[in-house]
Amino acid sequence: MTQHLSNYFSGPLTNAHVNMATTVLRDKVILGFVDKMNISMQNIVRYLDLNEMNEDNCVQKYIEENTDIDDFPHVDEGSKEYDALYSRNELDIKLFKIAEGIFNAQRGLLGLKQLDQQ
């Protein structure tokens, strides 16, 4: 994700690329997370001013048709597989953690209750 958002495809990524990707997420994207689908949809509905739609049915239908989070294998933290994935994706993991903060800040900007930070 860092590579795509920073538009850099010709070498190793650095924290400068994470910073560029962060700027794109903060300034150009309404963030949503599969594991927070209902909350993400609240953000989108508020941003697009779709309050007149039958929101609950729309969200539920979308979730049922498009959520495949269970289709991916679970990798235990601390395992060899986890360590290999972490090493290969360290800057994307850093960007993901930043994105969680941006997601929460966007809720505040939209006048919605911010989530407790973990």
3-state secondary structure 8-37: CCCCCCCHHHHHHHHHHHHHHCCCCCHHHH
pLDDT of residue 56: 61
Residue predicted with more confidence, 109 or 51: 109
pLDDT of residue 113: 83
Q: Pull the structure tokens for residue 17.
A: 């690329």
What gap in Å lies between CA 84 and CA 39, rounded to an integer? 31
User: Rounded to 5 degrees, what are φ and ψ at 86?
Assistant: -60, -45
pTM for the model: 0.81
Given a cut of 70, is residue 117 above it in pLDDT?
A: no
High-pLDDT (> 70) share of the chain, %: 83
Provide, for the chain, the percentages of residues in helix, strand and coil under a 3-state DSSP scheme, each rounded to the nearest 5: 65, 0, 35
In this prediction, residue 118 has a pLDDT band, given cuts at 50, 70 and 90, of: very low
